[in-house]
């Protein structure tokens, strides 16, 4: 981290956090004097031990799994676990235990990663199933295949680069406290109705081809299916319960349709779906009251509802969510018209590849910004006021 030796920077940041506390300074300096040949990890441990329990949990999560991840994708999970992530992330930065790069990317020094993983290994050297986190795929596969899991396990990451690895629901029967699960190239088989009751963060990238039936994850806050090879026609959304979902990532996956009940996910903040195979979206998304404008999009969708005025957040702009898309009706070359007449409070409108009646614009009395790419067509134009229009 920077030009200073890591241990010196971490200890310096630790002492800086306790400026004015002479007892902390004197105690730390005395500890270092008594052990002048203390290993670097022992010096780093001083800063780790100063964290409270919730901050330690987040530190260990990052060390074992999340260095390099977007911190925004993790906040809902940590928040739901009552780890107070906003405060914890700030403290970890102040003590030079992590950094936030490029705006939102978590970064931890390799030596601190090693420290965190050593701390977890010390929970039980001989029996991985009795540790809180399993980041080595071989150990995690052995634990699950042998149905040896325990309530001690809180998080696991498994990557199968060769061959085929399939986990049945029975493999997870003892993992009652599992809250983080990251799978790569792994198949799930069976019914998960009463399994993974505390799971809050699930990623199934690449190679994964199916989702299990009866996936009732009432605590799940983040579901990432991006870049997976899931056959969209095989997903039975009606058997998947995601009542607490905050983030749903379907970018570049094989999903062909979204659940009809998507509009009922009132906690959903991030909906990402740049998916060429997606044929349509539900007609009513009015229940999505908390979508974040900057992080949500549905791009490359082949068909969107003509009655788009039924969508929530009209003041934020329709195009912000949908982005460039074609409104060709499925199985027909006839373009359908977007009906915006109900969006009386619309302030921003972005059109690309859309066919729109000018009379609809005449009813948008609060419209301030209209952006049109060259493929957008507005017909039957009547007089209407637009402050800015870009071709």
Longest distance between any two alpha carbons in the chain, whole Å = 85
Predicted pLDDT of residue 185: 82
Residue 64's SS3 state is helix
Residue 108's SS3 state is coil
Within a domain: 39: yes
- Residue position matching structure tokens 């003041």: 315
Separation of alpha carbons 383 and 365, rounded Å: 12
State yes or no: pLDDT of 385 exceeds 50. Answer: no
Looking at residue 334, what DSSP letter applies? P
Within a domain: 242: no
Q: Which residues contact 333 (CB under 8 A, 6 or more apart)?
A: none
Q: Average the pLDDT over 280-303 and give the result.
A: 66
Task: Report the candidate in 49, 181, 212, 37 with the shortest Cα–Cα distance to residue 115.
Answer: 49
Within a domain: 100: yes
Query: And the tokens for 194?
Result: 């009463």
Strand partners, 216: 241
What are 139-197's pLDDT values in tens digits? 999 999 998 889 999 999 998 877 778 888 899 999 999 999 999 888 888 888 888 88
**Helices (runs of H) and strands (runs of E) counted in the chain:** 10, 17
- Kindly report which listed range (99-108, 124-133, 298-307, 359-368) carries the lowest average pLDDT score: 298-307
Q: Which residues contact 140 (CB under 8 A, 6 or more apart)?
A: 128, 134, 156, 157, 158
Within a domain: 262: no
Of residues 347 and 116, more confidence is placed in 116
Within a domain: 281: no
User: Residues, the chain, total?
Assistant: 391
Cβ contact 64:91 at 8 Å: no
Cα dihedral sign for 253, 104, 217, 172? positive
Query: And the tokens for 83?
Result: 């780890």
pLDDT > 70 in the chain, percent: 58
Query: H/E element holding 156?
Result: strand 155-159
State yes or no: pLDDT of 27 exceeds 80. Answer: no
Neighbouring CB atoms inside 10 A of 285's CB total 24
- Say how many domains are in the chain: 2
Within a domain: 361: yes
Q: Which residues contact 385 (CB under 8 A, 6 or more apart)?
A: 367
- Beta strands at 355-357 and 348-351: parallel, antiparallel or unpaired: unpaired
Within a domain: 88: yes
What are 107-144's pLDDT values in tens digits? 998 889 989 999 999 999 999 999 999 999 999 999 99
Within a domain: 370: yes
Separation of alpha carbons 229 and 186, rounded Å: 11
Q: Average the pLDDT over 358-373 and give the result.
A: 67
Predicted pLDDT of residue 332: 28
Separation of alpha carbons 76 and 201, rounded Å: 9
Predicted pLDDT of residue 61: 98
Query: And the tokens for 48?
Result: 């780790």
- Residue position matching structure tokens 């031990």: 49
Predicted pLDDT of residue 279: 63
Predicted pLDDT of residue 142: 93
What are 61-76's pLDDT values in tens digits? 999 999 999 999 999 9
Separation of alpha carbons 177 and 190, rounded Å: 20
Neighbour-count burial of 45, counting CB atoms closer than 10 A to its CB (0-12 exposed, 13-18 middle, 19+ buried): middle
202 φ, ψ to 5°?
-135, 125
Q: Average the pLDDT over 287-313 and give the result.
A: 60
Task: Report the candidate in 90, 98, 158 with the shortest Cα–Cα distance to residue 128.
Answer: 158
Please enumerate, as own/partner, the contacts of 230-239 that have beta carbons within 8 Å and a separation of 24 or more: 230/204, 230/254, 230/255, 232/256, 232/257, 232/277, 232/278, 234/210, 235/211, 237/261, 239/213, 239/214, 239/215
What CA–CA distances, in Å, run from 330 to 20, 58, 333?
69, 47, 8
Domain holding 87, by residue range, is 6-69+77-117
Query: And the tokens for 266?
Result: 């009132």
- Kindly report which listed range (168-177, 189-198, 259-268, 316-325) carries the lowest average pLDDT score: 316-325
Query: And the tokens for 81?
Result: 């676990």
């Amino acid at each position: 981290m920077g030009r200073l030796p890591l241990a010196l920077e971490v200890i310096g940041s630790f002492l800086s956090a306790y400026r004015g506390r002479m007892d902390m300074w004197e105690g730390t300096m005395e500890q270092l004097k008594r052990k002048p040949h203390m290993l670097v990890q022992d010096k780093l441990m001083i800063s780790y031990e100063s964290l409270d329990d919730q901050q330690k949990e987040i530190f260990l999560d990052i060390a074992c799994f999340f260095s390099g991840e977007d911190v925004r994708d993790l906040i809902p999970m940590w928040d739901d676990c009552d780890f107070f992530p906003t405060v914890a992330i700030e403290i970890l930065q102040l003590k030079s235990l992590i950094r936030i790069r490029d705006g939102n990317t978590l970064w931890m020094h390799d030596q601190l990663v090693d420290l965190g993983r050593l701390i977890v290994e010390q929970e039980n050297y001989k029996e991985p199933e009795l540790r809180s986190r399993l980041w080595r795929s071989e150990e995690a596969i052995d634990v699950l295949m042998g149905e040896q899991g325990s309530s001690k396990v809180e998080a696991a990451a498994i990557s199968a680069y060769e061959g085929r690895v399939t986990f049945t629901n029975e493999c997870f029967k003892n993992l009652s406290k599992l809250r983080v699960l990251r799978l790569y190239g792994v198949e799930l088989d069976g019914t998960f109705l009463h399994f993974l009751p505390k799971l809050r963060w699930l990623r199934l990238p690449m190679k994964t081809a199916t989702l299990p039936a009866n996936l009732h994850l009432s605590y799940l806050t983040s579901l990432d299916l991006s870049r997976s090879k899931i056959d969209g026609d095989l997903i039975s959304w009606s058997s998947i319960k995601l009542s607490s979902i905050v983030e749903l990532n379907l970018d570049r996956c094989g999903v062909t349709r979204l659940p009809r009940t998507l509009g009922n996910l009132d906690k959903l903040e991030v909906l990402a779906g740049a998916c060429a195979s997606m044929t349509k979206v539900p007609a009513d998304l009015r229940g999505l009251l908390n979508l974040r404008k900057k992080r949500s999009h549905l791009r490359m969708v082949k068909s969107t509802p003509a009655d788009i005025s039924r969508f929530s957040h009209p003041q934020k702009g329709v195009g912000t969510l949908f982005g460039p898309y074609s409104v060709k009706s499925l199985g027909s070359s006839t373009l359908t018209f977007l009906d915006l007449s109900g969006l009386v409070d619309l302030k921003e409108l972005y059109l690309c590849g859309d066919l729109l009646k000018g009379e609809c614009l005449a009813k948008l009395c609060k419209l301030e910004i209209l952006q049109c790419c060259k493929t957008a067509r507005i017909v039957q134009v009547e007089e209407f006021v637009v402050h800015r229009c870009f071709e």
